[in-house]
Structure 1
Amino acid sequence: MLLLADKVVFLTGGTEGIGFECAKVYQQAGARLCIVSNDPRSISRASLELGEQTTEFVLADVSRSRDVKHAIAHCLTVFGQIDVIHNNAGISSPSKALHETSEEEWRKLFEVNVGGIYNTTFHGIDALKKTGGNILNTGSLVGEIGQEIHAAYTATKGAVNALTKSMALDYAPFGIRVNAVAPAGVITPLLRSWSRQQPDPESVEDYLNHIHALGYCPEGDVIADACLFLISNMARFITGCILPVSGGAELGYKKLSSKQNHFHDL
């Protein structure tokens, strides 16, 4: 039995990294997808692999209310319903301490990582009320434990955790569940780019493997499998959960050297 048969998933940031792995898993589970991205090139690449028979792509910026309103309306026009909103789109730059972070950098992080959730909820909640659907937010372990030289980013992920719990309470009367996944390190194109920017790039791979108790830094598919569980009926009595999909990284944060003491979930 397909876990997402007859379900429509509205997925932001679904053309790269964790989001793209989720798109593939959701599609395999029987879902119809409306995928939002602000990158035309990544949409083109994703459409080649996912096809367009059960998948719609919308070029939009989740930090812009009017873009999200249009994307939600398009999804409803094409598919007639929304059963899941997965807020996966996010940014991580800059890698700076708080006093080094510009007002523009601070604003942009919150507009995308937190404002995106506001926008999809504001424009999509009525559709979810009709289906008794659910919301999934992509958080991060650093929202719980912090991270050096990423103060603004970790602040947004802490906000995602708090939002998830409060939204779970607000929407439970409508039968709407709200959860989040909290990865640690995940190998994605953005993480590879981040690794090259570190003071000692050659040692980052070894570091990322060792921060996880299970001994390796995973690909995005392990996060996608957890996301599939949370949005499916298998998790029908789970809400307000911040699920760590972290290989045990939170059990003992390992600092290998002063040059490589950060991890990243994008």
Structure 2
Amino acid sequence: MLLLADKVVFLTGGTEGIGFECAKVYQRAGANLCIISNDPRSISHAKLQLSEGITEFVLADVSSSREVRYAIMHCLEIFGKIDVIHNNAGISNPSKALHETSDEEWHKLFEVNVGGIYHTTFHGIDALKKSGGNILNTGSLVGEIGQEIHAAYTATKGAVNALTKSMALDYAPFGIRVNAVAPAGVITPLLRAWSQQQPDPDSAEAYLNNIHALGYCPEGDVIADACLFLISDMARFVTGCILPVSGGAELGYKKLSSKQNHFHDL
């Protein structure tokens, strides 16, 4: 039996990285997808690989309430309902200490990483109340343990953790579950390219492997499998959970040497 048969998933940031892996897994599990992205090129690429399923793409920026409202309305017009909102879209730049972070950089991170959740919930909660659906947020392990030279980014992910728990309490009376996944390092095309640009790519790869107790940095599919569990009825009594999908990295995040740069999940 397909875990998401006849379900409609509203997925932000679903055309690349972890979000794209989620889109593929959700589609194989029987879901109809409404994928939101602000990148026309990545939408075109994703269309080619997700052509077999029932998938709708919407060009929209999650930091814009107006654009998210349009995306939610479009999804409802096409599919008639929304069963899951997966807030995956996010940004990570800049890699700076707090005093080096500009006002513009600070606000942009919060507008996307936290504001996106606000916008999809504000405009989509009525649909979830009707369907008895659930919400999944893509967080990060660094929202719990912190990370050097990523103050603003980790602040947004810490906010996602707290927001997830508060939302779980607020929407439990409606039968709506709210959870989050918290990856550590995740190999995506963007992170591969970034690593190859470093002075010592071999050391970069070793670092990414070594921060995980299981000894390797995973592909995005391992995160997608955990996400599938959380949005499916298999997790029907799970809410307010911040699920580490981190290979044990939270048991002791190793520090980089001063000659290396700093990594985050991408």
Under TM normalisation by the shorter chain, which class is it? over 0.9
Match of residue 10 from structure 1: 10
Letter of the 1:258 counterpart:
S
1:37 has 2:53 as partner: no
Give the corresponding residue for 2:170: 170
**1:26-175 map, 5 Å:** 26-51=26-51, 53-175=53-175
- Give the drift of 1:112: 0.2
Work out the CA distance in 2 between the residues paired with 1:52 and 1:24. Answer: 10
Alignment-mate amino acid for residue 185 of structure 2: G
Q: Is the 8 A contact 1:82 1:131 kept in 2?
A: yes
2:85 aligned counterpart, secondary structure: strand
Contact 2:168 2:178 in 1 (8 A): yes
Task: Give how far 1:152 is off.
Answer: 0.2
CA apart distance, 1:255: 2.3
- C-alpha separation between the residues in 2 aligned to 1:142 and 1:202? 23
TM-score by length of 2: 0.97
Quick one: distance in 2 between partners of 1:65 and 1:5?
Answer: 30
Q: Is the 1:199–1:259 contact (alpha carbons within 8 Å) kept by the matching residues of 2?
A: no
Q: In structure 2, what is the equivalent of residue 211 of structure 1?
A: 211
C-alpha displacement of 1:261: 6.4
Gaps of 5+ in 2: none
* CA apart distance, 1:54: 0.4
TM-score with structure 1 setting the length: 0.97
Letter of the 2:242 partner, please give it: I
* Amino-acid identity (%): 89
| Residue deviations 1:53-97 (CA, integer Å, cap 9, x gap) | 500000000000000000000000000000000000000000111
- Counterpart CA distance in 2 for 1:8 and 1:37 is 17
Q: Give, in whole Å, the separation in 2 of the partners of 1:32 and 1:184.
A: 28
The one-letter code sitting in structure 2 at the alignment partner of 1:40 is P
- Cα distance in 2 for partners of 1:171, 1:256 equals 40
- Could you list the runs of 4 or more consecutive aligned residues of structure 1 that deviate by over 6 angstroms after TM superposition? none
Q: Is the 8 A contact 1:142 1:157 kept in 2?
A: yes
Give the letter for the 1:102 counterpart.
S
Report the AA paired with residue 14 of structure 1: G
1:263 deviates by 3.1
For 1:207 and 1:109, the matched residues in 2 are separated by 26
Q: In 2 relative to 1, CA 212–261 (structure 1 residues): closer, same or farther, beyond 3 Å?
A: farther
What amino acid is the match of 1:135? I
Amino acid across the alignment from 2:17: G
- Is this contact kept in 2: 1:148–1:261, CA < 8 A? no
Within 1, Cα distance between the matches of 2:173 and 2:240? 13
Aligned-residue offset at 1:6: 0.8
Distance 1:196 1:49 in 2: 26
Instruction: Number of aligned residue pairs: give it.
Output: 266
* Counterpart code for 1:262: H
Whole-angstrom distance in 2 between the partners of 1:209 and 1:20:
22
Per-residue Cα deviation, 1:11-63 (whole angstroms, up to 9, x for no partner): 00000000000000000000000000000000000000001750000000000
Question: What SS is found at the alignment partner of 2:33?
Answer: strand
Please say if residues 256 and 262 of structure 2, whose CA atoms lie closer than 8 Å, have aligned partners that are also in contact. Answer: no
Specify the SS of the correspondent of 2:121.
helix
Q: Secondary structure at the match of 2:130?
A: helix
Counterparts of 2:68 and 2:197, CA distance in 1: 32
Distance in 2 separating the partners of 1:52 and 1:39: 21
Query: Matched residues in 2 for 1:11 and 1:239: separation?
Result: 19
Rounded Cα–Cα distance in structure 1 between residues aligned with 2:96 and 2:200: 16
- 1:198 Cα offset (Å): 5.2
| Secondary structure in 1 matching 2:178 | strand
Q: Tell me, in whole angstroms, the C-alpha distance in 2 between the residues paired with 1:197 and 1:241.
A: 36
